[in-house]
Chain A
Amino acid sequence: MVRITVRVNGKEYTREVVESRTLLHFLREDLSLTGTKEGCGAGECGACTVILDGQAVNSCLILAAETDGSTIETIEGEAKNGKLSRMQEAFHNHHAVQCGFCTPGMIMTIKDLLRRKPKPSRDEIIDGIEGNFCRCTGYEQIIEAVLDVTGQLGKKEGLRHVR
């Protein structure tokens, strides 16, 4: 067991953890922050993405014990004072959510991307979210949500009616 203190979404937590506990399980089970999801537990799907000291990481690949003194951002900190963030708002408006299981990780990845690149091109968005699997949406509406939030969407084609 080791004792760690972390700051998650602005709140400080001190806990004893077993050395082998992943950050993902620490967040979900010890802190009951279940917004972050587990899709593979092996660093392959991105569902568990959180921001650790300013960088998006797969929390299933990080040991909680390593994060002592760190600042962590998770999906639970994204909406502030009962108001969705602009990114969440855009996901909502563009149907960038279907089952929602990839969504928390996706939002955290994009948040990190936009900090590094406030106006990513379509290709940069694609490269940015490439590590986050979404089996439902086909990514297009997610990309459009990011383009919208960064003021780059232009006129959206949408669904075309034909006769």
Chain B
Amino acid sequence: MLPVNLEKRKDSGMFGDLRSGETRVIGKRTPRVDSIAKLTGEAIFVSDMAFAGMLFAQVKKSPHARARILRIDTRKAEALPGVRAILTGDELDYRVGLYMVDKYILAKGEVRHYGEAVAAVAADTTAIARQAVDLIHVEYEKLPPVLHPLDAIREDAPLVHPQLGNYDYIDTAFSPIPGTNICNHTKLRKGDIETAFKRSEWILEREYTNPSVQHVPMETHVAIVSWKHDDQVTIWSSAQSPFTLRNLFCMAFKLSHRKVRVIVPYVGGGFGGKAGIHIEPLVACLSRKAGGRPVKFTATREEEFSLLPCRSALTYRVKTGVSSDGKIIGQKMTMYWDSGAYADYAVNVTRASGYSAAGPYEIPNSWVDAYTIYTNKPFGTAYRGFGHVEFFWGIERHMDLVAHAIGMDSLDFRKKNALRPGSVTLTGEKIEEHTGNVLTCLKAAEKAVGYGRLTAGEKKREQRSGMKIGKAVVALHKAPAMPPFTATGVILKMNEDATVTANLSLTEIGQGTYTALAQIIAEHLRFPLHRIKISQETDTDRDPYDWQTVASKGLLLTGNAALLAAQDLLRKSYELASQILRAQPVDLDHDKDKVFILHNPEASVTFREMAVGYAFPDGRSIGGPLIGIGSYIAQGLTHLDKETGQGLPALDWTYGAHGIIVEVDEHTGEYNILKVASVFDVGKVINPDAVRGQAIGGMLQGLGTAICEGYIYDQEGHLLNPSFTDNKIPTARDLPLEVESMVVETPQLDGPYGARGVGEHSMIAVAAALGNAIQQACGAELTHMPIRFEDVWRSLGKKEPIDNWITKSPFGSCKSAPEIRKNRPVQ
């Protein structure tokens, strides 16, 4: 229902006014609503919390990738003073799982990956708990692990989950194949692939790989749980998804949702790794065993790498058929996703990447087989980009290789095949004018890096440095990967002083959505921004439902719920004012302070007077606290047909492009990134600095993936580099010499003020841009990620690439070259 009279005002459409462009707060530079607490050290993260009687947990972890657990002896640990609870898998019979219920809280009978939890202790101090864990003796019988997904799908491969056929799973979305290591097979069939290949002038088939990668939120996973009498459970967690966590927790323990409360205060980064459910059930069981005392578990950085999940590795095979005029007419895409030991999010990463697998291009005949494959490695989960960072390495490298093969400029090839109004996506969705504009993004990136030529300054730089400069432009897209029924709610409470407090349970993990939501609410209410507060801590007992804080869907879904709540608040204010002013609601208007009669503004009543109920001069009162409620659910999405993959999975598509300039030393393989220019069609900028922060932060995270990050295993499945010394992430030195951020604004018709999400997109396709520019500069043809200097060198010397991700002896480094950086480019 529209608010009583607002439809006749210009800023009042359901999604805000998309046309007038006149906004007070939307699109304006404004600081974040949460930065002061973080800047003063006053923001309380779960890692900062302590409660009376709190115990500290430690976990005993498997040193093997695959082994039978023969015996666990906890007697010595039990005898240690200060130990309050010890748990082993034997006494716990609960399985958890987001899409596939396949994981015991503690390993039972068998360990499936290096670093898996086999026993846990809660004690008075961390030191005692650590000592107790050391005193627990586990006897294993080592079994041969299966480490590579392509080995794991061989007939004779050992099964990571022989019980796969008995597991519960979400069958509307996933298709496990019992008796194999394939826990999901996503299929997509569009058109007639065989005929298309027959008609093709050129066909090119290649394979691209990425290793597993760690999210590295600066705050590791942490939870405090107390399990009191009558199963009253309270969980404080660094989780991204309080309601999904509660739901999965209740399912695992068969508890009523009303008994379990999840509280999420400030969170020190998530990037997908803190979505779903992780350590909370184990910590809860320790608390229950310790008589309900609160138990705290803080993962060490090393545990973050192997006890907690990572991003799945991918092997991606693409076969493309192109017509004589450079149009792609058929493409077969096969993805082998390395799930690791448990399915967690990897099955859904597989599904989401399956239906986006071609990138923002129109492929009339396409065929996708995407497999999620169990192996004996730490398991994969959601990570910013949700599969797209990984497969875009393949698809955008592939676009360049195909273009080279057919003798076409790769950017022209992209433009020729890019999605445009009227195009049909892999799942059969028709692209409209308002879906967003890939071509504009490509052109902006092209211009920003001067694609296709070198400036005089760049030529001079080449001469001076003896290095070769290469440029590339890549395109990207992503839609939120979520169930079709994804929903959220917002409650707005008017305070006595006409400020407004918003309750919602989308979490603020650094992405900045709370600031954008405050702007949306302020804009719609016509209130100054400082009168809006988004309650920072989320609490499932007090806040309305939100599915999860993932998928770049928060701004659109919660933004719409916030708009609806603001409308509801105004409608109720108008109803109350109409009684006070004896006027019909349709004759009222409001400003930041009061509701008044449109043609007689003198007759007014302030929001302050109405905020918690209006009292007439004689004391009689009407109204009551003004509370606005907004609920929103994703509109028009469908399940995908399991055989053909056809349907409507995408809430919105955010398109983008990166342009990059790189210089490469042809002899050593060393390179420097001179510039990255990124552009995204965000629909509408709500907060320019926040968009830029996401654009640059994500781009550098994408460069981390591109230049150095990745899990290295030995051949027995031990993780060799679970630390920042051996698994580097970008520092300030890795920032390209020049960074540029641009936006296109093609309004999303059902987005708040036309906005769509952009949290993940900046990370996507950065690696491919780098690979393409390196090839353009020096000819190195790279198909494995990351791209370390020696990988370029090997490729130049036509030496075999080292697949050192399962290795006998690890190579590789991640090096910055500040001395070259100081030599700023002359453009």
Contact = CB atoms under 8 A, between A and B. Distances in A.
Given A75-B41, A135-B218, A136-B697, A41 B301 contact: yes
A84 B689 CA distance: 20
B732 A135 contact: no
Contacts of A130: 731-733
A141 B692 contact: yes
B41 A134 contact: no
A91 B39 contact: yes
Contacts of B693: 95, 98, 136-138, 141
A5 B698 CA distance: 44
A138 B701 contact: yes
Given A92-B39, A95-B32, A126-B735, A133 B218 contact: yes
Interface-central residue, A140, A159, A161, by most chain B CB under 10 Å: A159
Interface in B504-527: 509-512
A101 B41 CA distance: 9
Nearest to A90: B39
B335 to A, nearest CB: 27
B40 A42 contact: no
Interface in A40-61: 40-42, 44-45, 47
B41 A36 contact: yes
A34 B741 contact: no
Contacts of B691: 159
B268 A99 contact: yes
Contacts of A111: none
A12 interface: no
Contacts of B742: 159-162
Contact of B440 (A133, A136, A162): A162
B41 A41 contact: no
B437 to A, nearest CB: 9
B307 to A, nearest CB: 15
A88 interface: yes
B510 A139 contact: no
B510 A100 contact: yes
Interface in B31-68: 31-32, 34-45, 47-48
Given A78-B40, A100-B35, A160-B743, A127 B733 contact: yes
Interface-central residue, A125, A132, A134, by most chain B CB under 10 Å: A134
B69 to A, nearest CB: 29
Contacts of A78: 39-41
B733 to A, nearest CB: 5
B517 to A, nearest CB: 16
B729 interface: yes
B444 interface: yes
A79 interface: yes
B696 interface: yes
Contacts of B42: 35
Contacts of A91: 35, 39
Interface string B749-787: 000000000000000000000000000000000000000
A93 interface: yes
B41 A38 contact: no
B213 to A, nearest CB: 12
Contacts of A99: 38, 217-219, 266-270, 509-510
A65 interface: no
B332 to A, nearest CB: 35
Given A41-B300, A135-B701, A138-B696, A162 B743 contact: yes
B688 A158 contact: yes
Interface string B286-307: 0000000000000011000000
Nearest to B508: A99
A143 interface: yes
A101 B688 contact: no
B600 interface: no
A157 B269 CA distance: 27
Given A131-B731, A138-B735, A162-B743, A97 B39 contact: yes
Contact of B700 (A76, A138, A161): A138
Nearest to A38: B47
Contacts of A107: 39
Contacts of A39: 218-220, 301
B744 interface: yes
Contacts of B32: 92, 95, 97
Interface string A117-149: 000000101110111111111111111000000
Main secondary structure of the interface of A (DSSP, over half): loop
B114 interface: no
Interface string B685-710: 10011111101111111000000000
Contacts of A95: 31-32, 35, 512, 689-690, 692-693
B269 A135 contact: yes
B267 A161 contact: no
Interface string A79-106: 1000010001001111101111111100
Contact of B724 (A97, A126, A133): A133
A74 B42 CA distance: 12
Given A91-B39, A141-B689, A135 B271 contact: yes
Nearest to B267: A99
A125 to B, nearest CB: 8
Given A97-B39, A100-B266, A140-B735, A42 B689 contact: no
Interface residues of A, number: 61
Contact of B692 (A41, A74, A92, A159): A159
A97 to B, nearest CB: 4
A44 B216 CA distance: 13
A163 interface: yes
A76 B40 contact: yes
A149 to B, nearest CB: 13
B228 interface: no
A54 B736 CA distance: 32
Contacts of B269: 98-99, 101, 135-136
Nearest to A85: B39
A95 B691 CA distance: 10
Given A79-B40, A135-B271, A161 B743 contact: yes
Contacts of A93: 31
B594 interface: no
A160 B701 CA distance: 21
Interface-central residue, A34, A101, A123, A158, by most chain B CB under 10 Å: A101
A35 B37 CA distance: 10
A127 B818 contact: yes
Contacts of A45: 218, 301, 724
Given A39-B219, A98-B693, A99-B217, A138 B699 contact: yes
Interface in B83-122: none
B741 A101 contact: no
A99 B38 CA distance: 8
A121 B509 CA distance: 31
Nearest to B515: A95
B537 interface: no
Contacts of B692: 95, 141, 158-159
B679 interface: yes
A114 to B, nearest CB: 16
A131 to B, nearest CB: 7
A47 B724 CA distance: 13
Given A41-B300, A130-B731, A134-B218, A75 B724 contact: no
B458 interface: no
B214 to A, nearest CB: 10
B156 to A, nearest CB: 41
A28 interface: yes
Contacts of A41: 300-301
B633 interface: no
B47 A37 contact: yes
A34 B41 contact: yes
B696 A140 contact: yes
B713 to A, nearest CB: 21
7 contacts: A41-B301, A95-B32, A97-B38, A101-B219, A123-B822, A142-B732, A161-B685
In the complex, the 6 A-B pairs of residues with the closest C-beta atoms, listed nearest first: A35-B41, A100-B38, A99-B510, A101-B268, A138-B700, A98-B510
